[in-house]
Structure 1
């Protein structure tokens, strides 16, 4: 067999894993694909015949590529505190996609990805590679020009922020869906009290701005503020279709086969802790909605 085909085959064995690493690092599906492609180019021009752990080697290569992309993104960011909405991964309830399972393993919900977006690039790399993919600190340290001890501290700091700001969703999907259904039922009926009751008092709603094309993510805090948008949810109710968004209960709002928005709900203890809304037409056009909006 041609050596180039063997090389491609070796890389393709790890592509799904590498895309999962890049997605956690970048929060962008298209950028994750770009990072994996760059990793392939580096692999293709490097002699790896003496590499014993190819998966680990490729993981660190993708990590380095993503680190450079994050640093470039940070340099372009106009405001240091600007919130960036990660890309959602959509699927049907009850349908198992092996590649998506790898992509979303370890409960990579949007709430977690939002917190990861707030981390400095070196913190994010240290946390993602070590906590999510078990890469030793002595292999991560050279990527960020730190000692293993300093790298461990970066990961620890990131871990504390994740644990404090990224609530774990209820593992029971049916309980998640009950809360989401109650949310839209209360919205549809104009029942403000019922709407507030299904929302956690400290609920956070994040939106990419939608058709208003706001320059930055719009963020609302508190049950009263989120419930005050009930009229908007009421208009959407007839077009709501249940989907999974990053493995948790969500909805696709579509009319006439045209997607209008995607909403993800983080639910715990029967209440909604976070709502993430994607309504920018450009962003929706880049999502894989095949069969979901029909």
Structure 2
């Protein structure tokens, strides 16, 4: 079929929503971009004049492409070096998508993206379509070729799995910044006890180096183990500077709606540490240091003004 400029414009109008959907489904910005581009190629080859509801058609195509990708991704992650974590997105990235409701903000939080990895592809798709994009179960059923009753059952099961694994308490920006300031002050003090006081008893710390950057294969578990690790991590040393190529500046920021620390060397983001906050302290530190998963973050960071770093190590 010959594609007209009107066809291109119609697709581009939906692109931001499609990218936000694909990111939530895949946990990877680069894979989301690829899935949306493949959807465009399908749109290009379709008889668009016979498509009555373009948004529904595009959503169905994209979702099923992502489901196929998720199935193959599970096999790839079995051979992934170390822990696999999603690709973080910084505040202001359009791929984060809608954030008007608590459910929409929650659906793209880093902790929830990690939990979504535990769901089956169908559970993940139903959860995202319903929770983040408010699709009615009738439409979800049409997208996934299941019954409406099945969609409802899958959603309730998926939502329970996510809720059971969550510790997060939604906090405002001022409170998040205060927590980060307290954490960095404690980490820079060189003492373990102030850090322990900021953590939940079952706190964890985990990192994704993808085999390209040193990262512990198993998570640190428990407040004291995590505090000891963090004390060492934020202690300046010549060996660390040699490893990362210079002094590292640490900034307080937001990633996926959560408080985060962004670590930058000569304008290049070398790590994003997302904090999960519970009612009684910091419950988790999830650090993305795989350079392949920080390319988009680095581009966005380079385009903005970030003020002075809170710490240099």
Asked if 1:146 is matched to 2:146, the reply is yes
2:234 aligned residue: 233
Whether the 8 Å contact between 2:213 and 2:289 is mirrored in structure 1 is no
SS in 1 for 2:225: helix
Paired with 2:268 and 2:43, the residues of 1 have a C-alpha distance of 40
Whether the 8 Å contact between 1:211 and 1:279 is mirrored in structure 2 is no
1:269 aligned residue: 279
Once superposed, what is the RMSD of the aligned Cα atoms? Answer: 2.9
Q: Give the TM-score taking structure 1 as reference length.
A: 0.86
Asked if 1:183 is matched to 2:183, the reply is yes
Residue correspondence of structure 1 range 188-267 to structure 2 within 5 A: 188-209=188-209, 213=213, 218-229=218-229, 230-235=231-236, 239-267=249-277
Paired with 2:285 and 2:305, the residues of 1 have a C-alpha distance of 20
CA drift of 1:137 comes to: 2.9
Which stretches of structure 1, 4 residues or longer, exceed 6 Å deviation after superposition? none
Paired with 1:84 and 1:103, the residues of 2 have a C-alpha distance of 25
Paired with 2:11 and 2:24, the residues of 1 have a C-alpha distance of 20
SS in 2 for 1:207: strand
1:112 aligned residue: 112
Whether the 8 Å contact between 2:19 and 2:95 is mirrored in structure 1 is no
Paired with 2:143 and 2:52, the residues of 1 have a C-alpha distance of 19
Aligned length: 287
Query: Could you report, residue by residue, the CA deviation over 1:13-61 in whole angstroms, capped at 9, with x for unpaired residues?
Result: 1100000000000000000001111111111222243444322322222
2:124 aligned residue: 124
Which of 102, 105, 110 is equivalent to 2:97? 102
Whether the 8 Å contact between 2:260 and 2:273 is mirrored in structure 1 is yes
Compared CA separation, residues 216 and 4, structure 1 to 2 (3 A): farther
2:42 aligned residue: 42
Paired with 1:27 and 1:231, the residues of 2 have a C-alpha distance of 29
Unaligned runs of 5+ residues in structure 1 are 92-96
2:84 aligned residue: 84
CA drift of 1:238 comes to: 6.9
Unaligned runs of 5+ residues in structure 2 are 241-246, 307-313
Paired with 1:101 and 1:25, the residues of 2 have a C-alpha distance of 12
1:94 aligned residue: none
2:23 aligned residue: 23
SS in 1 for 2:124: helix
Compared CA separation, residues 211 and 58, structure 1 to 2 (3 A): closer
Compared CA separation, residues 282 and 35, structure 1 to 2 (3 A): closer
Compared CA separation, residues 273 and 30, structure 1 to 2 (3 A): same
